[in-house]
Structure 1
């Protein structure tokens, strides 16, 4: 069930932010236990390529992508729905900042919630990656 992202009583201009934090230690453990294939369920090949360096997969970049997807999903404010991992795509722009593309299920959820787009910021340092996402509001197809 979608929920319009405008904060109750907040009026126009107020929207729900999404935020997430990911532990590098936890992602390293998942990578060690299950290999890179595990993350192919969450990220598409282009996203994984964005996380690679000449020495291999960069854990901080990987954690940042995961945090960004979670944060973007949280802006949608949907109940009883699982995060459509591969339908929220976080890629690196030519300028280096992250861009969010909503596909299929994620795009439908966003449209139902009156969200036209999502902008995200990612930061990481040694042990953690964090991301904050903000919806770009439009006219919803349905209002609760």
Structure 2
């Protein structure tokens, strides 16, 4: 039995065209999704304070969330993005990657983006990554992040 399903309706071509219109090249090489209960982040911040934040988040990430009234939600979204990014490159927190090797950068009037550092950057490049898309959403005490990597398979 042939497991290949022909693309009779052209949906795959339309999808690739849509990704190209958004600045992508249409070849997805990794997808990661993560869900975080931000109350757990609040518990960690209460228990370990800045020691936890400094171990997991870059100075820029901590600075972005520093003045947030609900700081644990802001950091929880970033934690979800880091986890989703590590799933997208296929390593999780292994292969010598540290939490701060994956950084979520947010700017005014700019969509969030992942900045890869050190070992995570090496692995992402070796996997053929050309671009990375990230989105985060919050609902109540939950934060969800999705990361899509595009590129040329290595």
2:61 to 38, 44, 47: 47
2:130 paired with 1:111 = no
User: Which structure 1 residue ranges, 5 or more long, are not aligned?
Assistant: 1-8
Question: Which one has the largest radius of gyration?
Answer: 2
TM-score (norm 2): 0.74
- Aligned-pair Cα RMSD in Å: 2.5
Q: Residue 78 of structure 2: SS of its match in structure 1?
A: helix
Q: Per-residue deviation at 1:14?
A: 4.1
Relative to total residues, which structure has the larger helix share, 1 or 2? Answer: 2
2-side partners of 1:96 and 1:61: how far apart?
16
Aligned to 2:142: 128
User: Which structure 2 residue ranges, 5 or more long, are not aligned?
Assistant: 5-25
Name segments (4+ residues, structure 1) moved above 6 Å: none
Q: Per-residue deviation at 1:77?
A: 1.2
Q: Per-residue deviation at 1:54?
A: 6.1
Q: Residue 30 of structure 2: SS of its match in structure 1?
A: coil
- Contact kept in structure 2, 1:21 and 1:128, CA below 8 Å: yes
Aligned length: 131
2:57 paired with 1:24 = no
